[in-house]
Structure 1
Amino acid sequence: MFDPRSILLVIDRTKSNGRELLKGISSYGRVVKNLRFKIIDAEIATELKEHAFIKYVSQEAKGVSGIIMVESVYIDSLPDFGVPTILASASRGFAKGDYLIQVNNQMVAREAVKHLVSYGHSYFGYVGLQDFDWCNARFEHFKQIVENQCKGLRSFFYEPPGKYTMKEPFRAGMEKWLDSIPKPIGIFACSDFCGKHVIEACKRLDIKVPDEVSVLGVDNDDLICNFTTPTLSSINLKTRDCGFEAAKLLVKLMDGEKCPPATLHVEPGRISVRQSTDFIAVRDQSVAKALRFIRDNVMLPIQTEDVCDEVCCSRQFLYNKFKRHLKCSVHDYIRRCRIRKICELLIETNMTISEIAYKMHFPDPDHVSRYFKKQKGISPTQYRRDLRTERTG
């Protein structure tokens, strides 16, 4: 029986981008009355043979008035269901249709380069999956952006793992590649999952992350990023916003409105900076030692004299080194790191300002609030409110 307000969603809920897309669709569902959703996990396509998956989706599609389908390996084999449909890129190729969802890979690559450059990198690497169009597109944009401002771009592509592990030949290949590339280097991984594999390979080779190899992922899947050691920096994607707009467009089509063909772009958001990139690439050993000391003691109220004692040099000597390599004083760099740490705690945890003050050895909450506002122009409370509003749409 046909239901004029029923929408079938074929989306993988095991991945962060799928969950974020669903949250955006759900948000629109709260705005519009009487929408009903049926969900099929696209992940089941990896468990079923092609004909079985097509039969299953076809059965579930009976009676619906619209479909949003994302990343099924069999997306190109499914029949035309005769209702408005919005498609996102299939697992290996790009989806084809009048109404599409695509990540803006050019802007994602631009944000990756900007981030790695800001940490002093002039050597760049890219790690991606073989035979995936979206991954190749991300690489081509990354390559185009960096080729005029770096000393060389190295890349490594591997076959997607089975369930959760890399195949041995590719694991050995990645290790050989990581051992051969110049360091320090900033590596852009096509996804958080790839970034995790890079960090694990570095640990097996005793390559220091982020001191020798910085790693940046995409998707900001906190279940991957926060359970990788060291934790993985990642580019957020505004998938939730796109989910809202996709549902809005689909309802217009379901209501018979004539809409021109459209591609909804998933834009990059802010970068969640974690341990895997939180180190400035510098070859000067005195500066590198000072940076490691500051990074490892960022929770403490260290002073310039503490850093000089660690490096065994005079204040003026280290000041000149920092000015030459980092364009700032030791004191300024310590303050910058402390502020960045406060930002991280405000965004990634539910700690109160009092708890942050205690953890970072400030005398009291008012002190940390004044310290933060002097640098950022707003209070810690307002900063947290603004960022969380942005994340929840």
Structure 2
Amino acid sequence: MKKIPRKKPSPRVALLIESSRSYGRELLMGIAEYVRIHGPWSIEFEEGNPLDQLPEWFGREKWDGILARVNTPDMAKALRRKGVPVIDLSASLPESAFPQIRSDEDAVGRLAAEHLMERGFKQFAFCGYNGTDWSDARRDSFERRVAGAGLACQGFENPRAMPPPSATDYEEHGERHERDLICWLKTLPKPCGLMACNDARARQVLNCCREAGVSVPDEVAIIGVDKDEIFCELCDMPLSSVILNTQQIGFKAAELLSSMMTGECTEPGPIAVQPLGVMARQSTDVLAIDDRHIAAALRQIREHACDGLDVETLLKTTPLSRSVLERRFSQFIGSSPKAEILRVRLDRVCQLLAGSSLPLAEVAGKTGFEHPEYMSRLFKKKMGMTPGEFRKSTRAKERKALGYTTE
């Protein structure tokens, strides 16, 4: 009788990654996708935030590999004592000596700067958590890109000492000392394009602008990082954000750990994953122009285009005649008021198609179109494809960018 070979046991892998924020959840999704395709693994992880203190279960088990966000020297020492392959998905401790996979922070800062420069800003600012590796790297890149265009950038320097590195201490410190941030925002030259180091900081800046009486995006346009849907969409004003390829970071980390656990790969140098682009929302939906009447008209279009605003209604809110309004729009915007209203509506159509499963009739109703058929005709004329084709294409591109299969 032929002997059946024993099944090789699945590798035991510990995930020390927080799931309380979208960044950690996206990492976990990327890891899960790798395991689904190339596993199985026997995985242990803990919901919430295990970054500040190793969970009790971690010390009771023997692991074949570890995927972790290594944020403190004590955590790095504890992981080294395990004597197994470890991949660091935080890269905030250069001395950890683990293989590191992270976002390309230089590309993150550059994308944010170029997004704001495309909107005509000549004055810039950065607000982060001074002393954190990833925040400082994004600040330096942002400032380099701005300086490369011959422009200047002001950085927020918190006068109060920052806490030692820890998972959420920086954000809590920032919240306790918002008065300093409010005073700084009041001193910024206006109009100004501001990058925040992440969406949590961007949300805080937005709230402080409201407290300071600073208009967003007309006086200060704000862009964050992470595309954290909770932070970006539940603000008073939806936040623009640089889209990190976080699931791909998780996927690549799992792929590298697998190779190291089987001895196929020695420890490589740091790996940087390119961001996917910018999700433009209302917090940067502005053009920095000096004509206050055109700026006011653009603000009306931005806020009410999807409510059915037309040129006749717009003329009631401005002291300009139709011919002057259209001439100045052509001068500053390069299009007519009617075309700008349509652009804002169709941009919102694109957002709803890409980010929701709403039927076309509801998309039309939410974007100021009385008839979905008319919306579809205009959409195809501008985009070269139907709304349905656009929705399908967008989702396919997202999966391809993340390195996923279609199975």
TM over 0.5: yes
CA contact under 8 A between 1:10 and 1:70: conserved in structure 2? yes
The residue correspondences of 1:152-163 to structure 2 (distance < 5 A) are: 152-158=152-158, 159=162, 162=169
The equivalent of 2:5 in structure 1 is none
RMSD of Structure 2 on Structure 1 (CA): 2.4
The residue correspondences of 1:285-324 to structure 2 (distance < 5 A) are: 285-324=292-331
1:81 alignment partner AA: K
| Distance change in 2, residues 1:303/1:350 (3 Å) | same
Which runs of no fewer than 5 residues in structure 1 stay unpaired? none
2:219 alignment partner AA: E
The equivalent of 2:112 in structure 1 is 112
Which runs of no fewer than 5 residues in structure 2 stay unpaired? 1-7, 403-407
What's the TM-score once normalised by structure 1's chain length? 0.90
| Distance change in 2, residues 1:33/1:360 (3 Å) | closer
Q: Shift of the alpha carbon at 1:332?
A: 2.4
The equivalent of 1:81 in structure 2 is 82
- Rounded Cα–Cα distance in structure 2 between residues aligned with 1:317 and 1:167: 46
| Distance change in 2, residues 1:334/1:128 (3 Å) | same
- Rounded Cα–Cα distance in structure 1 between residues aligned with 2:359 and 2:181: 42
What's the TM-score once normalised by structure 2's chain length? 0.87
CA contact under 8 A between 1:43 and 1:72: conserved in structure 2? no
- Rounded Cα–Cα distance in structure 1 between residues aligned with 2:144 and 2:34: 37
Identical positions, percent: 30
The equivalent of 1:17 in structure 2 is 23
1:76 alignment partner AA: A
**Which deviates more from structure 2 when the two are superposed, residues 12-21 or residues 154-163?**
154-163
| Distance change in 2, residues 1:216/1:144 (3 Å) | same
CA contact under 8 A between 1:94 and 1:134: conserved in structure 2? no
Q: Helix, strand or coil: the match of 2:193?
A: strand
- Rounded Cα–Cα distance in structure 2 between residues aligned with 1:6 and 1:169: 41
Q: Helix, strand or coil: the match of 2:102?
A: strand
- Rounded Cα–Cα distance in structure 1 between residues aligned with 2:50 and 2:253: 23
CA contact under 8 A between 2:127 and 2:195: conserved in structure 1? yes
1:228 lines up with 2:235 in the alignment: yes
| Distance change in 2, residues 1:169/1:16 (3 Å) | closer
The equivalent of 1:34 in structure 2 is 40
Deviations along 1:265-284, one digit per CA (max 9) or x if unpaired, are 23211322222112222221
How many residue pairs end up in the alignment? Answer: 384
- Rounded Cα–Cα distance in structure 2 between residues aligned with 1:120 and 1:163: 32
- Rounded Cα–Cα distance in structure 2 between residues aligned with 1:303 and 1:206: 29
- Rounded Cα–Cα distance in structure 2 between residues aligned with 1:154 and 1:271: 22
- Rounded Cα–Cα distance in structure 2 between residues aligned with 1:332 and 1:96: 54
The equivalent of 1:389 in structure 2 is 396
Q: Helix, strand or coil: the match of 1:298?
A: helix
2:360 alignment partner AA: I
| Distance change in 2, residues 1:166/1:85 (3 Å) | closer
The residue correspondences of 1:1-12 to structure 2 (distance < 5 A) are: 5-12=11-18
The equivalent of 1:182 in structure 2 is 189
Q: Shift of the alpha carbon at 1:58?
A: 5.4
CA contact under 8 A between 2:379 and 2:385: conserved in structure 1? yes
The equivalent of 1:130 in structure 2 is 130
CA contact under 8 A between 1:42 and 1:70: conserved in structure 2? no
